[in-house]
């Protein structure tokens, strides 16, 4: 039972353009959502988060949007840079516990 799904295994964009990574979830108890970035041979690095009381959170070039009715969130990166090339994981948690449930990841490639 995959409670968090990232349906696009890969995404390729040109430098300077917007990257949009998508994530869907099925568990209505999730109320905190995070995005992590992972480079090969390294652990995931926290990028940005959003709680269910908000529908948008922005940090520099990164913005996360949450649509609770659709159980969908997205990560926008603008402008995209070659150094952003990595695997991006969406994760979610319930307020009652701290375990994170992860999606399968999306490999982002930003071409110079």
Partner 1 sequence: GAGVSQSPSNKVTEKGKDVELRCDPISGHTALYWYRQRLGQGLEFLIYFQGNSAPDKSGLPSDRFSAERTGESVSTLTIQRTQQEDSAVYLCASSGQTGFGTQYFGPGTRLTVL
Using CB under 8 A as the binding rule, the residues of this chain from 25 to 64 that contact partner 1 are: 32, 34, 36, 41-46, 49, 51
End-to-end CA distance of the chain: 38
CA proximity to 92, closest of 20, 17, 36: 36
Candidate ranges 14-22, 55-63, 68-76, 94-102; the one touching partner 1 (CB under 8 A): 94-102
Min CB(44)–partner 1 separation in Å:
5
Smallest separation (angstroms) from partner 1 to the CB of 81: 22
Q: Which two tokens stand for residue 87?
A: 């695997």
* Distance of closest approach, residue 49 Cβ to partner 1, in angstroms: 7
B/e letters for 37-61, b = 16+ CB within 10 Å, e = fewer, are beeeeeebeebbbbeeeeeeeeeee
- 3-state DSSP call for residue 83? helix
What is the contact surface with partner 1 in residues (CB under 8 A)? 4, 6, 32, 34, 36, 41-46, 49, 51, 89, 91, 93, 95, 97-105
């Amino acid at each position: 039972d995959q409670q968090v799904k990232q349906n696009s295994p890969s995404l390729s964009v040109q430098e300077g353009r917007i990257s949009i990574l998508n994530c869907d979830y099925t568990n209505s108890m999730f109320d905190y959502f995070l995005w992590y970035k992972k480079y090969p041979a390294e652990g995931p690095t926290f990028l940005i988060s959003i709680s269910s009381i908000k529908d948008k959170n922005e940090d520099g070039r990164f913005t996360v949007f949450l649509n609770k009715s659709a159980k969908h969130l997205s990560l926008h990166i603008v402008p995209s840079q070659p150094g952003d090339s990595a695997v991006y994981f969406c994760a979610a948690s319930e307020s009652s516990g701290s375990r994170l449930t992860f999606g399968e990841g999306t490999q982002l490639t930003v071409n110079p």
